[in-house]
Structure 1
């Protein structure tokens, strides 16, 4: 499997408060220091970086991916297209761009569960999932996901039947993956919007499952 990862992507943005640095790892600190130097030399605009980060983290987040999954759950023809040509199917909904040029959809089934990791850095499908979470970039996740995927899933509160095969996929600069979680039971007749509300970011990485109707945390469900 190719590991020609793209290490040139921004992993953070400018902050004015040094006290936040105590919570950052060595790589994040180096990125922040580099951004500061580049900003001081006038090579980058911190405000523009903030807009970029906000776009992917707040406005996009995992909502685009949730729409893709919900449409695939409702429309078999779209699911077929997604499995044949994920890049084209996703682009048909208006979700495309850098970090999402070559997409592959991985459908979970009762007998097979997919888990995505990037073992060398943090390659991630930005157009459909937004920015990668901190744990996705961490060394423990990147190493343990390959060596002990069941243990990693257990850390996320996911326990699968012993007979369920777990397949781990290494995301690269050439290929990004989108897990299609299993559709929860009891959602017959749900609208696309109602289904999308059940799709979580973690379920599209493989570290979680889609929410079931009535579960705490599901939009419209009392706490």
Structure 2
């Protein structure tokens, strides 16, 4: 959505590295602050929260725990909301959660066909592509094509299940644990878990050798 504002403020900073959307957002933010609608300190606190405390690193911790603790995995798949709360991840669009285990027989993928419902508490803010009409439409009509777009190849004998996230229910995909990671710590395992793998459009990435 385009927002054009007339104002006479001088800008001494070079924003040439920013996208057009970034520039527009910063301009809108400046106007809201100047008019007293937004408290800069509160805004900074919110940004810090989503940069350092809320994000896919939370979901990665959940996945790593499920990989290493069968009892926790059982609780996660039977009542994800409660299991996530055990690790301190609640609220902020994650009140009603379902965990979806990927298996050798089934690959799960998440979309929100109506808008962009997304589990902020474990994945942070949604990526731009998740909110686009193209992804929302193609994920339902051609999920294998979407996975191919992301560079993910799923064998023909593996079923792909697409789950439609809503305001009442959000999903976390638990990818299969990568081979060759036996004996790894939860921290090392969490580092292999990508945001996209928890949406179902990616796979874990092993970058650390087994100890």
TM-score bracket, normalised by the shorter chain, equals 0.7 to 0.9
**2:128 equivalent to 1:134:** yes
**With structure 2 as the length reference, what TM-score do the two structures score?**
0.83
1:93 is displaced (CA, Å) by 0.7
**Partner in structure 2 of residue 124 of structure 1:** 118
TM-superposed deviation, 1:32: 7.1
- 2:79 equivalent to 1:85: yes
Q: Does 1:170 align with 2:138?
A: no
Q: Give the SS at the match of 1:116.
A: strand
1:57–1:131 contact (8 Å) kept in structure 2? no
In structure 2, relative to structure 1, the CA distance for the partners of 1:192 and 1:115 (3 Å cut) is same
Distance 2:40 2:137 in 1: 33
* Residues 141-156 of structure 1 mapped to structure 2, 5 A cutoff: 141-156=135-150
1:97 pairs with 2:91? yes
SS in 1 for 2:163: strand
Q: 1:219 to 1:58 in 2, by over 3 A?
A: farther
TM-score (norm 1): 0.79
Counterpart CA distance in 1 for 2:29 and 2:44 is 12
- Structure 1 residue 143: Cα displacement: 1.6
Seen in structure 2, the aligned counterparts of structure 1 residues 147 and 47 have a Cα distance that, compared at 3 Å, is farther
- Matching residue of 2:38: 44
Matches for 1:1-223 after TM superposition, within 5 Å: 20=18, 22-23=20-21, 38-212=32-206, 218-219=207-208
Structure 2 unaligned runs (5+)? Answer: 1-12
Q: Which runs of 5+ in 1 are unaligned?
A: 1-15, 213-217
Q: Say what the alpha-carbon RMSD is for the aligned residues.
A: 2.4
- Displacement of 1:188 after TM fit? 1.3
TM-fit CA distance, 1:62: 0.8
Aligned equivalents of 1:137, 1:88: Cα separation in 2: 27
Distance 2:129 2:45 in 1: 23
Deviations 1:16-39 (A, max 9, x none): 987645247xxx96x778756644
Cα displacement string for residues 123-151 of structure 1 (whole angstroms, at most 9, x for unaligned residues): 11111111111111222112211111111
Q: Matched residue of 2:178: which SS?
A: coil
Q: Tell me how far apart the structure 1 counterparts of residues 14 and 158 of structure 2 sit (CA, whole Å).
A: 46
Q: Which moved more, 1:44-53 or 1:83-92?
A: 44-53
- Name which one, 1 or 2, has greater alpha-carbon Rg: 2
